[in-house]
Amino acid sequence: MAIELTTLPLPASADPSKFANFGREVKGVDPGNLTPEQFEEVKDALYKHDALLFRNAQLSPEQQYALTKAFDPASESYGHGNHKTGSTKKSILHPDLKTIPRVPQVQLIGNGLVTNYEGLESAQLKHPSHHTFHKTQVSPEDEANGVTRFYRWHIDAALYDLSPPRVTTLYGIKVPKGEHQVVRYDDGTGDELPVPLGTTAFVSGRTMFDILPSELKSFAVRTKVRYAPHPYVWMAPARALPTGLGIENDGLELPLNEVPEWSEDKIMTLPILWKNPVTGELHFQVHPCGAHELLVDPIPAGAKREGALYPDGAHIKDLKEVRSLLYKMQRPAIAPQLVYPHDWEERDLVLFHNRGVLHTVVGAFKPDQVRAFHQCNLAASDIPKGPSEEDVKRWA
């Protein structure tokens, strides 16, 4: 049986013209038991639409791992590697991930106390909130009135040694229902976004690129990001912007001689734009918190130099400058009308193109609101492809 695709219901806040290709619900198939033909259709749909939803999915951790692996059969280990040992305990991701013992590539994430669950005697889960990560906080009074923040816009990726996963699968098993909350951007724009409790918010990396003015498109197509070594340890003492889209410039990052042992060959240097393997389109894929330096190629011969940023190329090492350029390019794409906040139902399975979208945890739960999700992604067997020579000619 062929798969059936329908559009995702968009919230009133979203601009439908910007979501024509984004997101589809997949009907008529069992995601845990896809035939090879059905899987090929699902894979094609994922790269064309960036996020796929299956409602009422029944999926064991083994099936979720198998489905995730099918996108990259040569991949094997969890996208962030093994967190249980050594120095990575200092990573800011460490407290949020509990491994399912039987299938260590699948993580249990959520909120509250979960007992006798998939081989775990008990797991105390904590929904990450901006309070532990942002420099400024929503006041307790505002929070009681439902005001919240985006936690951290990101790509699922270790950004050191391991290559960014192609796909992430998120499966909602226990989903507490509660009042809607309002994301306040708190960046002077007055932007706000009403969201369902505990939404996962997505923005499209291709829209992020599409809406840039030509001089920033030229800059993006010529530039690579060099990430910090062990970026989540490096950034741990630092605090984020109120939009969750990068780090404040307070100089709090660990000095590089204090991050765990690292080597130059494991540093990730990745293009700003990643080429979609099916559509050929370019997606703006930068994890702003981990970015450390920018490497800019010069304007190619024959291309227009007027108005170009760094026409002769550059190696930008000033962290403030790195962050300010990235923020200028990424902030427009998280405007309220460009965000898809998924309204989770129990047994929703969402597959997202991790090399095509940015996403974030949102909101805050009370300790007694128990939420349990299974998440899986696998460090990829290849490095994301950047712009082709033709892309550079077209956009530089």
Mask for 69-108, x = binds Fe ion (CB under 5 A): ----------------------------------------
Determine contact, residues 368/112, Cβ cutoff 8 Å.
Answer: yes
Q: Quick one: 257 exposed, middle or buried, by C-beta within 10 A (0-12, 13-18, 19+)?
A: exposed
Determine contact, residues 279/395, Cβ cutoff 8 Å.
Answer: no
Determine contact, residues 119/153, Cβ cutoff 8 Å.
Answer: no
Touching Fe ion, residues 170-189 (CB under 5 A):
none
Binding piece for Fe ion, criterion CB under 5 A, among 116-124, 156-164, 175-183, 227-235: 156-164
Binding piece for Fe ion, criterion CB under 5 A, among 109-117, 150-158, 290-298, 323-331: 150-158
156 lies in the site for Fe ion, by CB under 5 A = yes
- CB 115, min distance to Fe ion, A: 25
User: Which strands, in side-by-side order, build the sheet including 181-184?
Assistant: 147-148, 181-184, 192-195
Q: 143 or 156, CB closer to Fe ion?
A: 156
358 lies in the site for Fe ion, by CB under 5 A = no
Q: 30 or 126, CB closer to Fe ion?
A: 126
- CB 234, min distance to Fe ion, A: 18
Q: What spatial distance separates the first Cα and last Cα of the chain, rounded to whole Å?
A: 44
- CB 164, min distance to Fe ion, A: 11
Q: 247 or 357, CB closer to Fe ion?
A: 357
Determine contact, residues 200/193, Cβ cutoff 8 Å.
Answer: no
- CB 291, min distance to Fe ion, A: 17
50 lies in the site for Fe ion, by CB under 5 A = no
In the numeric block, which tokens belong to residue 60?
Answer: 């064991």
Q: 29 or 376, CB closer to Fe ion?
A: 376
Q: 156 or 293, CB closer to Fe ion?
A: 156
Residue 121 zone, left/alpha/beta (φ > 0; ψ -120 to 50; rest)? alpha
DSSP 8-state class, residue 255: P
Q: 356 or 387, CB closer to Fe ion?
A: 356
CA distance 125 to 107: 11
CB neighbours of 156 closer than 8 A, spacing ≥ 6? 79, 80, 164, 165, 168, 354, 377
Q: 222 or 374, CB closer to Fe ion?
A: 374
Strand blocks (E) in 60-214: 98-100, 103-117, 120-125, 147-148, 167-174, 181-184, 192-195, 200-204
* Residue number closest to Fe ion, CB atom: 156
Type and span of the H or E element at 327: helix 319-330
Binding piece for Fe ion, criterion CB under 5 A, among 9-17, 151-159, 189-197, 227-235: 151-159
- CB 200, min distance to Fe ion, A: 8
In the numeric block, which tokens belong to residue 353?
Answer: 């193109």
- CB 244, min distance to Fe ion, A: 12
> Contacts with Fe ion: how many residues (CB under 5 A)?
1
Residues at the contact surface with Fe ion, assessed by CB under 5 A: 156
